[in-house]
Amino acid sequence: MLLFESWYYLVRAGESEYESSGIINTNPVTKTSMDNGLSEIGKKQTVKAALALKSMGACEGNCWIWPSITQRAYQAAEIIAAVNGVGRSHIVPEYSFLDARGLGAYEGKELDSVSEIYASDSLSPNIKPPPIDDGTPNESVQDVFVRVTQLMSILETQYSQDTVIIVSPDSDNLSVLQAGIVGLELRRHRDLAYGPGEVRYIDSSSVPTYKQPPSAVYKCLNPPNCN
């Protein structure tokens, strides 16, 4: 279970143009492309997220917005800032730790095929998607956990006792991070999946440790007799 001194809101950017077309796009080379920007639906989803943050009082104190430099996430940050009265100097673009999870050989496939990746995730957080030679990373859940943990270390050092809004281009960065915060097994991060434009307040001091069901913690003490 990860513990932090600051207050965090986790936001998934709204739907991108690629997502609206049902296509997987995780190659970091294209992350600043306009095709990676918000779709019309994604813009509406992001406005709702910004209004939700306002109603939650996210930026009533000292507030920082940390978006991925990925086009849709940065566009989402600008919308959030405008609605919540946050100056551009408090938008801090993140260049690598918040990249969308690299899905390797699934790049360019139909969006529905991510179910195969999550099936592998549920077996082990160390299973990577098949590689590809176009520069798209093939990241396991553990790979994602390492970089989001590094991100949180930076934020805790620089913004202790401040509020930080993290804007990710995808769900996996956030679900893996939240799993680490609440103590959920990383292979079950999909249980905490974020929809486009979804916002969650994360205060690790008030989040109870996730309690696994009995089936997940059962141990056989006298194999092979495990009645």
Residue 226 is assigned to a structural domain of this protein? no
- The torsion of the CA quartet 194, 203, 96, 13, rounded to 10 degrees, works out to 30
Residue 223 is assigned to a structural domain of this protein? no
Q: pLDDT at residue 226 above 60?
A: no
Q: Using 50, 70 and 90 to split pLDDT, how confident is the model at 1?
A: low
Residue 49 is assigned to a structural domain of this protein? yes
> Total structural domains in the chain?
1
Residue 111 is assigned to a structural domain of this protein? yes
The pLDDT, as a whole number, for residue 136 is 97
Q: Using 50, 70 and 90 to split pLDDT, how confident is the model at 211?
A: very low
Residue-range definition of the domain harbouring residue 191: 7-217
Residue 224 is assigned to a structural domain of this protein? no
Residue 227 is assigned to a structural domain of this protein? no
Residue 87 is assigned to a structural domain of this protein? yes
Q: What is the CATH number of the domain that holds 22?
A: 3.40.50.1240
The pLDDT, as a whole number, for residue 6 is 76
Mean pLDDT of all residues in 178-200: 95
pLDDT in tens, 127-175: 999 999 999 999 999 999 999 999 999 998 899 889 999 999 999 999 9
Residue 125 is assigned to a structural domain of this protein? yes
pLDDT in tens, 58-108: 999 899 999 999 999 999 999 999 999 999 999 999 999 999 999 999 999
185-190: long-range pairs with CB below 8 Å, 24+: 185/125, 185/212, 185/216, 186/125, 186/141, 186/142, 186/145, 187/121, 187/122, 187/123, 187/124, 187/125, 187/141, 188/122, 189/121, 189/125, 189/141, 190/118, 190/121, 190/122
